[in-house]
Amino acid sequence: MSSTGAVTVEHRARNVALIDLLDRLLQGGLVISGDITLAAADVDLVRLDLRILVAAIDKAMGT
């Protein structure tokens, strides 16, 4: 049970929803094969994922 006594429903509070956005954009969505190239190499997307997560945590911690 959450400390506030109610589930935390975040309607796009950015810091919270960012993790869900990242998961969806980078791991969800329709995968189209064929004559497709990624806009960025997978390794870049992984680095982006980590960098943004760290930034979000910093913001959440008020640093």
Partner 1 sequence: MSLLLYAITDAELGRDPELRGIDGAALQAIEAGGLVAVASGHSTTPPLDEAILWRFEQVIESLMQHGAVLPVRFGTTMETTDAIVAMLQSGRPELVDKLDAVRGAVELSVRGIWRDSPGPASAGAALTGTDYMRDRLAPQLRAQALAAQLHAHLDGQARASRHRILARPAVPVSAAFLVARGTEDEFVRAVTRLDAQLDGADLVCTGPWPAYSFAGDALGD
Residue with tokens 């509070």: 13
Per-residue binder mask for partner 1 (CB under 8 A), 22-41, x = binder: xxxxx-xxxxxxxxxxxxx-
CB of 9 to partner 1, least distance (A): 5
The residue to which tokens 């390794």 are assigned: 43
How is residue 5 annotated by DSSP? S
Q: Is 58 in the site for partner 1 (CB under 8 A)?
A: no
Torsion angle of C-alpha atoms 38, 41, 47, 51, degrees rounded to 10: -40
Which residues of the chain form contacts with partner 1 (CB under 8 A)? 1-3, 5-12, 14, 16-26, 28-40, 44-45, 48, 52, 55
